[in-house]
Structure 1
Amino acid sequence: MFVLELTYTAPIEDVDAVLEAHVAWLDELYDKGVFLASGRKNPRDGGVILAVAEDRARIEEIAATDPFVEARVCAYRITEFVATKTAPGLERYRQTPA
C-alpha cells in the first residue's frame, strides 16, 4: 500500500486552474481500484492519497500522469508500507510482512 503526499509548488490560483483535470484523474483511478482515499491537507498546501498497486514503479508512473504534475504545480512524496491491520471494510488490502 502507498501513501502519496502532494505538496503544492505553485500559488493556489495555479493549482485551482488545474483542479478540475486533477479531480477527473482521481475519479479514473478510483474507478480502476487504485485509489482508496484522498483529500486536501489542512492547511491547504497539498493533499494525500491512499493507493494500492503491484509495486512502487507503477505508483510512480501513475503519479507522473497527474495533471498537477504535468502543470508543475505539485511535487509527490511516495511512502510504501505494509498494511498489516485495516478497518473491516479494507480487509482485502491486508498484507503479511515479507
Structure 2
Amino acid sequence: MAGPLEQALAVMVLTFHKYSAKQGDKFKLSKAELKELLIKELPSFESKQMDDAEFQKIMNDLDINKDNEVDFQEFASFLGCVAMGFNEFFKEHRQKQLCKK
C-alpha cells in the first residue's frame, strides 16, 4: 500500500492529466485548462478573485519556455513554490503559537 507522500504525488500527476487531456496537447495545460485547474483544485486562488491580469501574470511566470502552455515540469515547479509558501505560513503560525506559551 502506498504511503501518504506517494499518494500525494499520484494525485498531483493525475490532477495535471485530468485537466491537460481536455483540449489540444494532452500533455500540456492550455490557458483555459490551467485557469480551470486553479479555480477548481486550488480554491484559495479563486478566493482572491483572480482577475485576467493576475491570471496572465501567473501564466507568464509558469510558462518558462514561452509556448503559451504549461507542461508538467512547469506545473510541478509551481506546486513546489506553492508548497514552500504553505511551509512558510505554517512555520510562522507555529512560532506565533510558541510565543504565546
User: TM-score when scaled to structure 2?
Assistant: 0.29
Structure richer in helix, relative to its length: 2
Bigger Rg, structure 1 or 2: 2
Where is the strand percentage greater, Structure 1 or Structure 2? 1
